[in-house]
């Protein structure tokens, strides 16, 4: 999946991966788990993430290579948040070649920047399962508690308005060129990622059905 921060990649990836019975591989979630766990990888990534910059490619690519080699990814996987620039996309092609796998489809979620700022400034993320809710668009049943698992909801360090704006600049400069990259590989499908979550899911499923 490709799309700006706040496009709903994590939200949709969770639903689609569970329906397809394949693991969701979210580089942002893996980094955040490592930051909370205080691992060396987490220490390498934290400062970049807090500023809204990309973690260096060597670190990210090695992590993805390891993750995709795991047993549960053999029957397929859904990537959320990777690749994030053309160099990562080229490395991904090599990783997939080595695994004897290939990308079937790249789903682009399109949404405008003002909507993104509204979504991210109101987002509350679960410390336990990573599920994202929203103070207005998807308010938790109990204040501060994840509807999905009962874990504690918190505001991500990079969800402050100034950092959100910087992440959007990074997206425009480094990640948006991937749309062209995958269009030229003939595997890009684009949907509007606005409206109800379930309507976006239905659009994604229809687009994936047409592409496969």
Query: Does 128 interact with Zn ion (rule: CB under 5 A)?
Result: yes
Distance CA 49, CA 76 (A): 28
Measured from the CB atom, is 158 or 188 closer to ligand AP5?
158
User: Does residue 29 sit in helix, strand or coil?
Assistant: helix
Q: What b-and-e string marks burial along 41-76, b requiring 16 or more CB atoms within 10 Å of the CB?
A: bbebbbebbeebebbeeeebbebbeebbeeeebeee
Query: Does 130 interact with ligand AP5 (rule: CB under 6 A)?
Result: no
Query: In the complex, what is the shortest distance from the CB of residue 185 to ligand AP5, in angstroms, rounded to a whole number?
Result: 18
Under rule CB under 6 A, which residues in 185-204 are in contact with ligand AP5?
A: 197, 200
Distance CA 207, CA 183 (A): 15
User: Is 45 labeled as ligand-binding?
Assistant: no
User: Is 84 labeled as ligand-binding?
Assistant: yes
Structure tokens at 52: 């809204």
- Per the rule left: phi > 0, alpha: psi between -120 and 50, beta: everything else, 26 is beta
18-21 long-range CB contacts below 8 Å, 24 or more apart? 19/205, 20/76, 20/78, 21/75
Measured from the CB atom, is 123 or 203 closer to Zn ion?
123
User: Does residue 188 sit in helix, strand or coil?
Assistant: strand
| Closest-approach residue to ligand AP5 (CB) | 28
Query: Could you tell which of ligand AP5, Zn ion, none binds residue 153, using a CB distance below 5 to 8 A set by kind?
Result: none
User: Is 124 labeled as ligand-binding?
Assistant: no
- Establish whether 123 is a catalytic residue: yes
Annotated binding residues for Zn(2+): 126, 129, 146, 149
- List interacting residues with Zn ion (CB under 5 A): 126, 128-129, 131, 146, 148-149, 151
- List interacting residues with ligand AP5 (CB under 6 A): 3, 5-11, 27-28, 31, 48-49, 52-55, 60, 81-82, 84, 88, 119-120, 123, 132-134, 137-138, 158, 167, 197, 200
């Amino acid at each position: 999946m490709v799309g700006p921060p706040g496009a709903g990649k994590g939200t949709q990836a969770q639903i689609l991966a569970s329906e397809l019975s394949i693991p969701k591989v979210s580089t942002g979630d893996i980094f955040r788990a490592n930051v909370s766990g205080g691992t060396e990888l987490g220490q390498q990534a934290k400062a970049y993430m807090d500023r809204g910059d990309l973690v260096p490619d060597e670190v990210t690519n090695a992590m993805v290579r390891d993750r995709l080699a795991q047993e549960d990814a053999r029957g397929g996987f859904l990537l959320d948040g990777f690749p994030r620039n053309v160099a990562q996309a080229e490395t991904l092609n090599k990783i997939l070649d080595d695994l004897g796998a290939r990308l079937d489809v790249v789903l682009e979620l399109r949404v405008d920047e003002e909507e993104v700022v509204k979504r991210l400034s109101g987002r509350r993320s679960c410390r336990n399962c990573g599920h994202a809710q929203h103070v207005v668009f998807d308010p938790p049943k109990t204040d501060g508690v994840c509807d999905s698992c009962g874990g504690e909801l918190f505001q991500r360090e990079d969800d402050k308005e100034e950092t959100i704006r910087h992440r959007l600049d990074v997206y425009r400069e480094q990640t948006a060129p991937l749309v062209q990259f995958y269009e030229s590989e003939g595997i890009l499908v684009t949907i509007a990622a606005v409206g109800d979550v379930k309507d976006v899911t239905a659009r994604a499923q229809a687009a994936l059905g047409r592409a496969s």
